[in-house]
Amino acid sequence: MKLQMVDLLTQYDSIKDEIDNAVLNVIRSGQFILGKEVKQLEDEITKYLNCKHAVGCASGTDALQIALMALNIGPGDEVITTSFTFVATAETIALLGAKPVYVDIRERDFNIDPGKIEDAITERTKAIIPVHLYGHPAPMDEIMAIAGKHNIPVIEDTAQAIGAGYNGVKVGTIGAFGCISFFPSKNLGAYGDGGMIITNDDALAEKVRMITNHGSRQRYYHSEIGVNSRLDTVQAAILLVKLKYLDGWNENRRAAAERYSALLQDLPVKTPIELPGNYHIYHQYTIRCEKRDAFAGYLKEKNIPHAIYYPIPLHLQEAYSYLGYTKGDFPVTEKLTEKVLSLPMHPELTDEQQISITNVIKEFYSKVNA
């Protein structure tokens, strides 16, 4: 049995004819940059998310940077976020000369702790970036209340959470911006890089659209300092096909998560939860376990795919040492980086595969607890 962390080839085989035709149609059109499929995808995403504007860009990382640029964030500014996330969340802040300001997370759902945000706010705070980590929504009501009190815009890092729901609305539509990644392994993944910026603000939508295209509304006329970050037409065509299947794939992930949790219930691991009012789409199925490194080694020995998201928090990364954070500053984050481990998760995961995976986990803990 060949196990994959994410089985992109099996998924492709299931929609091969549609994908192949979509790609060939773009090639035959000759419209590789800002072809009609880009606008079609933007329109379909606005319908799917029930938002006003969706602007394609070249990656989820670019989506974050462009959102920050649209808010005129730069040197001397501060942006509050979490240290328990992929580096792009802080990287984009730093690239613009602003300062990432971290706060700790909640152990129960891995997301930023709203109770710690207000203490981090200063007169230089220009944005808050919560991350909907692993596909579970961040606590947006509390975050938006704090942001509204201090008149600070919120940028939702929705890279791992397209289709996730929070109190009846889709994440990415609650703050000033939502930033989506279409990296191939995401729940809605392209066959290359791609991203999208979501907003309900007309003026911000116009601004980000210009920034993605060299700051230009009209060719050779530049109203903003911009970048070259256009969503590729081939990728847009692929995503148009895949978007039709997203809800079904997310339901398959939820069913797989439920099976995992049932199979693991008697073992010394903590399985992920879904808090009331949330719709978790399980981009990752992440457990917390004792003897994590030995456990990971055993899985490797048994050819069970796994990953650690993330082994080193951002505040302890060498590249960000200039910020002055030290070990012990964010105890929940640091504790979880030593315990988390993600198991294979994708819509094509079968009962047989999950039983095989969890049997190996049972073997490990029966040996270490013998």
Domain assignment present for residue 334? The answer is yes
Asked if residue 319 and residue 228 are part of one domain, the reply reads: no
Domain assignment present for residue 1? The answer is no
Contact 134, 109 (CB under 8 A): no
1-44 pLDDT per residue, tens:
689 999 999 999 999 999 999 999 999 999 999 999 999 999 99
Domain assignment present for residue 2? The answer is no
Q: How far, in whole angstroms, is CA 33 from its chain's centroid?
A: 25
**Beta pairing, strands 78-82 & 99-103:** parallel
Coil, helix or strand at residue 106: coil
Claim: this prediction has a pTM higher than 0.95? yes
Q: Which of 168, 76, 83 is nearest to 123 (CA)?
A: 76
Please give the pLDDT value at position 369.
73
Please give the pLDDT value at position 368.
79
Contact 288, 270 (CB under 8 A): yes
261-312 pLDDT per residue, tens:
999 999 999 999 999 999 999 999 999 998 999 999 999 999 999 999 999 9
Please give the pLDDT value at position 370.
55
Asked if residue 326 and residue 309 are part of one domain, the reply reads: yes
In the chain, which residue ranges form alpha helices assigned H by DSSP?
Answer: 8-14, 16-29, 36-49, 60-70, 88-95, 117-120, 140-150, 202-212, 233-243, 246-263, 292-301, 331-337, 351-368
CATH number at residue 70: 3.40.640.10
The residue count of the chain comes to 370
Sign of CA dihedral 252, 256, 257, 259: positive
Range of the domain at 21: 8-103+112-243
Asked if residue 252 and residue 238 are part of one domain, the reply reads: no
Task: Say how many domains are in the chain.
Answer: 2
Query: Which residue positions in the chain have pLDDT lower than 50?
Result: none
Could you give the count of Cα atoms lying within 13 Å of 59 in the half-sphere of its Cβ? 12
Separation CA 304–CA 3 (nearest Å):
7
Please give the pLDDT value at position 149.
98
Residue given tokens 């279409």 in the structure block: 182
Sign of CA dihedral 142, 146, 148, 149: positive
